[in-house]
Chain A
Amino acid sequence: MAAPSIQVEQAPSVQYVLRLADTALILGQRLGEWCGHAPVLEEDIALANIALDLIGQSRALLTRAGQLEGKDHDEDQLAFLREERDYRNATIVELPNGPSRPGDFAFTVLRNAMMATWFRLLWERLRESSDAELAAIAGKAVKEARYHQQHSSDWVVRLGDGTDESARRLRAALDALWRYGAELFDSDAVDVAAAANGLGPRWADLREPWLAEMRELFDEAKLAMPADSAFRSTGKTGVHSEHMGYILADLQFLQRAYPGGAW
């Protein structure tokens, strides 16, 4: 018997934490796909290490979301038994590891730099959360995000200011990714409510500091700052790209087919 799906509470505080948890989890899942496939051994290890940190952060956040929800859902149930529409990650992290072919290293490191910078800014603010547990998770995660940001930014500069070919690939990655960044800085009822009760910042408040750091990075990497895009992805509201179902099929298959399976 396949495991049935669970329904998740729509309360803004639960949704706010789930958005973070899912964004970390799905990026971790995508980075995990690199394991055994990165261009050099050191980066294989780096990408797997970053994935582990992200999945660890997500586990803590999912646990907290379950507690806030008050329906006794644990981290495993929330990860493995929610349907696509109940996943609240930003769309950018569910995109395959390359716009035209999987295994695009430039795309991967650029997305990592964009996301690590965003996460770091968010974690810094969440250290002051009115929710003590969320603040504690942030106190740990911010150190990890700093390391991820430093490492992925190094690579963006190396590729952007490298050979003609590496710069061309990085530009192509930026073209494909930039418009998906916008979703990370739009506010709606969920994060406005979180900001009002001190749970965490509005996502819109992260936009200026994030853009300033991206500008600095792109200058060093000899990348032109792209124009704002009118396109908006909607993953955080549960409306995902066509790629999301495949990730969940991978991620959830075992627990769906063999409920409670453990080893």
Chain B
Amino acid sequence: MMNPAMRVTAQEQRALRAWEVLQSVLDPEVPALSVCDLGIVRDVIAHDDGTEVVLTPTYSGCPATEVIERSVIDAIDDAGLGPARVTLQRAPAWTTDWISDEGRRKLHSYGIAPPAGGASGIAQQAPIRIVRRSRPARVECPRCGSADTERLSAFGSTACKALYRCVACREPFEHFKPI
């Protein structure tokens, strides 16, 4: 019979192994990022009867949420760490501040301008600016690095992105919106 201390160790190892596996589960809409880079994995808990992954959804209406849940379960099960289950945790709400430094680098090299930091603090308290054609914050072009860019569309191909254009190199690019 396994002694209790050994069982705890085995569970801890399973949780660590699960974290490693999750590094390779990609966001279907931003396939440069893993779910860990994105900062939506809040916890991994190895139970006696399986492995629980706690996820926080990004946007209320993000259609990728269900696909991500499925991919997480499949990846854990395929690695022999299952049976996996996913629980969703809404609070505290996800913020782009939870995207890892590695995730920001990956976004940049994928051609998506990463969100500015500090999105969850002051920015969420600031009053809405009602001014003519309110100018969004400057975003640096991920291709040429110029700060001379303009926003083409406040909403992009997915809920989490906006569309920009670089005035210097003339290339359009996407920006991961800070929330």
Interface residues of A (CB under 8 A from B): 41-42, 45-46, 49-57, 59-60, 117, 120, 132-133, 135-137, 139-144, 146-147, 149-151, 153-154, 157-158, 161, 213, 216-217, 220
Residues of B within 8 A of A133 (CB): 90
- A52 near B61: Cβ-Cβ < 8 Å: yes
- B132 near A53: Cβ-Cβ < 8 Å: no
- B61 near A143: Cβ-Cβ < 8 Å: no
- A57 near B131: Cβ-Cβ < 8 Å: no
Contact pick for A150, options B60, B92, B95, B128, CB 8 Å: B128
Shortest beta-carbon distance from B97 to chain A in Å:
12
Query: Which chain B residue shows the least CB distance to A54?
Result: B61
- A213 near B128: Cβ-Cβ < 8 Å: yes
Shortest beta-carbon distance from A113 to chain B in Å:
10
Shortest beta-carbon distance from B118 to chain A in Å:
14
- B61 near A53: Cβ-Cβ < 8 Å: yes
Shortest beta-carbon distance from A78 to chain B in Å:
16
A-binding segment of B12-20, B32-40, B47-55, B151-159 = B151-159
- A42 near B91: Cβ-Cβ < 8 Å: no
Residues of B within 8 A of A52 (CB): 59, 61-63, 159
Query: How many pairs of residues, A versus B, come closer than 8 Å at their CB atoms?
Result: 98
Interface residues of B (CB under 8 A from A): 57, 59-63, 90-95, 124, 128-134, 152-157, 159, 163, 177, 179
Residues of B within 8 A of A135 (CB): 91
Complex alpha-carbon distance, A41 and B153, angstroms: 9
- B155 near A42: Cβ-Cβ < 8 Å: yes
- Known contacts: A42-B155, A49-B159, A56-B59. The answer to whether A150 contacts B90 by CB under 8 A is no
- A49 near B133: Cβ-Cβ < 8 Å: no
- A49 near B155: Cβ-Cβ < 8 Å: yes
Residues of A within 8 A of B179 (CB): 143-144, 147
Complex alpha-carbon distance, A55 and B133, angstroms: 28
Q: Can you list 10 pairs linking A and B with CB atoms under 8 Å apart?
A: A42-B152, A42-B155, A56-B62, A117-B128, A136-B90, A136-B91, A137-B60, A147-B154, A150-B134, A161-B132
Shortest beta-carbon distance from A140 to chain B in Å:
4
- Known contacts: A133-B90, A140-B60. The answer to whether A153 contacts B128 by CB under 8 A is yes
Residues of B within 8 A of A53 (CB): 59-61, 159
Residues of A within 8 A of B157 (CB): 45
